[in-house]
Structure 1
Amino acid sequence: MFMRMLACGLLLCLGGAALADPGACRDINVAFHQVGALYYRAPDGGWTGIDKDVVDELGKRTGCRFLPSLESRVRIWTMLAGGKLDMSMSGIATPAREKFARFIPYFATRNYALLDQSVPASASTAEGFLAAREYKVAVVKSYKHGAAYDLWLDKLRAQGRVYEAADFPAVVRLLKIGRVHAILALPVSWVPILKREGLSESVRVLDWAPREHLVHGLIVSRERIPVATAERMAKAIESMRNDGTLLTIFKRHIGDELASGLLNY
């Protein structure tokens, strides 16, 4: 009887220790959003992309189980700010966002301007486009595009020349049907979708902000995810960078030419 009670007491103590372990990793709800090579439909109908592969590898290295969902970018930020979501991917840190989330970098890039071929040379610079009031641009609502582009967009918004869509496929559709004449996009966004939508020959890709450097990271809720778990994920990302796993993932989805540049963060 004494031995049975002792064994039960040990089990309770061990169970309590496990629950109290700050490094223990519970299930984590991670929301993806459909955008370019980051998260997209594969030919077989399943979901694939850089962000999915990164999360799958995080699961292997951290022992965490990630439960995926698909949401719009606007809804993702709303849920994170309201403490109703554990985590999302490919976010850009701002002072306001860092109040409710931690950011763990895993790639860096910058936006490019994608102009319809009908736009004349006189409007093929940021200043020229701004001066030609008949031309419009589409962006994903709530996206941050970098200081130079965000200032440019504010000027266009004041003139009613910015369409804001819920996701990147909707932005591309606006360009394809001629509702707008330009969109802003990252290489991880435009490389696959221009080919898929048959726009590669009808769009010019212009680098209007070569000095911009946008670092994208895992977006981890401060309210819902313990610091120890966030640190575990950060160590896993660092090991993925050091052993070449991140580069392999990037090459798989956007090719060798652009992949290595994503590691400059």
Structure 2
Amino acid sequence: MAAQSDCGSFQLAFYELGALYFKLPQGGYAGIDKDVADELSKRTGCQFQTVLESRVRIWHQMSQQTLDMTVSGIATPEREQFARFIPYFSTRNFLLVSASLPARTHTADGFLAEKNLRVAVVKSFRHGALYDAWLARLREQHRVEEAADFDSVVRLFMAKRVDAFLALPTSLEPLRRKEMANSFVILDWAPSDVVPHGLVLSRQRVPQTSVEIMQRGIRAMHEDGTLEKIYTRYVGAEQARYLLLRAPD
């Protein structure tokens, strides 16, 4: 593995989202993204100067080339113009709908047919091919509420300003433990979706040699079971296996 001087020091932005990154009751932060970054730094010598930001500001800064890197991002053709991606887990979204909605709304077409129903999402998030196409149709009808972060999305739902919202498995477990657990039904409309999430590295600010060092580090963490151990720590063994990359980069 490369020595510290081979990699460099980079500003890395975290964002709060479920088991990926969350504030501890006693102070400080924990989560999958933090542990992955900490382990990667230890293995490669890459130094990360971390900050906490909203996802909207992160993507703006990445697109403007004013931020070096961030975590658990989804590649799109637009984003690949300014960033490189190193996947370290894959997952898919679930739709959580109000438990009071009738069964006829539990399909994509059924929800669309009820013109009064609305959904909340985090601004700038991508959700996979099926959900993004469905959301595009809802946006045409002005039925999508966009919030700055996932906690704000949940608050919109609890305030009954929307009837549904999207969540990753890494966010489901914390929701199940809250008082709101009986207020929603979980729908899995895209069981075949595989949405890789990875480190997002500025094409302009992070040298290719550093990208390759981090790629090797992530690959080694996958191969020796370190990633699975990190996932298990936060979401349990069953979900951890589900998060594992099917074909490591």
Aligned partner of 1:117 in structure 2 is 99
State which of 19, 30, 34 in structure 2 corresponds to 1:48: 30
Aligned partner of 2:109 in structure 1 is 127
CA distance in 2, matches of 1:128, 1:23: 57
CA distance in 2, matches of 1:105, 1:23: 24
Q: Is 1:226 aligned to 2:207, yes or no?
A: yes
**Percent identity at matched positions?**
53
Aligned partner of 1:4 in structure 2 is none
CA distance in 1, matches of 2:81, 2:4: 22
Q: Would you say the 8 A contact 2:7–2:213 is kept in 1?
A: no
Aligned partner of 1:147 in structure 2 is 129
Offset at 1:194?
Answer: 3.9
Matches within 5 A, 1:28-43: 28-43=10-25
Aligned partner of 2:163 in structure 1 is 181
CA distance in 1, matches of 2:161, 2:86: 36
Q: Which runs of 4+ in 1 moved over 6 A?
A: none
The Cα offsets for residues 58-85 of structure 1, whole Å up to 9 and x where unpaired, read as: 1101101111111111110111111100
Offset at 1:156?
Answer: 0.7
TM-score with structure 2 length normalisation? 0.95
Aligned partner of 1:262 in structure 2 is 243
CA distance in 1, matches of 2:237, 2:4: 39
Amino acid at match of 2:64: G
Q: Would you say the 8 A contact 1:88–1:218 is kept in 2?
A: yes
SS of the residue 1:199 aligns to:
helix
Q: Would you say the 8 A contact 1:32–1:71 is kept in 2?
A: yes
TM-score with structure 1 length normalisation? 0.89
Aligned partner of 2:233 in structure 1 is 252
CA distance in 2, matches of 1:243, 1:219: 23
Q: Would you say the 8 A contact 1:192–1:254 is kept in 2?
A: no
Instruction: Give unpaired runs (5+ residues) of structure 2.
Output: none
Q: Would you say the 8 A contact 2:84–2:202 is kept in 1?
A: yes
Q: Is 1:69 aligned to 2:67, yes or no?
A: no
Q: Is 1:199 aligned to 2:180, yes or no?
A: yes
CA distance in 1, matches of 2:176, 2:165: 12
CA distance in 2, matches of 1:205, 1:52: 27
Offset at 1:23?
Answer: 6.7
The Cα offsets for residues 213-259 of structure 1, whole Å up to 9 and x where unpaired, read as: 10111001110011111111111111111111100100111111211
State which of 239, 242, 245 in structure 1 corresponds to 2:220: 239
Offset at 1:203?
Answer: 1.2
CA distance in 1, matches of 2:109, 2:203: 40
CA distance in 2, matches of 1:26, 1:233: 11
Aligned partner of 1:100 in structure 2 is 82
CA distance in 2, matches of 1:153, 1:50: 28
Aligned partner of 1:166 in structure 2 is 148
Q: What is the root-mean-square deviation in Å for CA atoms of aligned residues?
A: 1.5
Q: Would you say the 8 A contact 2:4–2:44 is kept in 1?
A: no
Q: Would you say the 8 A contact 1:22–1:226 is kept in 2?
A: no
Offset at 1:126?
Answer: 1.2
CA distance in 1, matches of 2:96, 2:235: 17
Offset at 1:22?
Answer: 11
CA distance in 2, matches of 1:22, 1:123: 54
Q: Would you say the 8 A contact 2:65–2:204 is kept in 1?
A: yes
CA distance in 2, matches of 1:193, 1:28: 33
CA distance in 1, matches of 2:239, 2:7: 34
Aligned partner of 1:80 in structure 2 is 62
Instruction: Give unpaired runs (5+ residues) of structure 1.
Output: 1-20
SS of the residue 1:105 aligns to:
strand
Aligned partner of 1:5 in structure 2 is none
Larger Rg: 1
Number of positions where the alignment pairs a residue of Structure 1 with one of Structure 2: 244
Q: Would you say the 8 A contact 2:119–2:163 is kept in 1?
A: yes
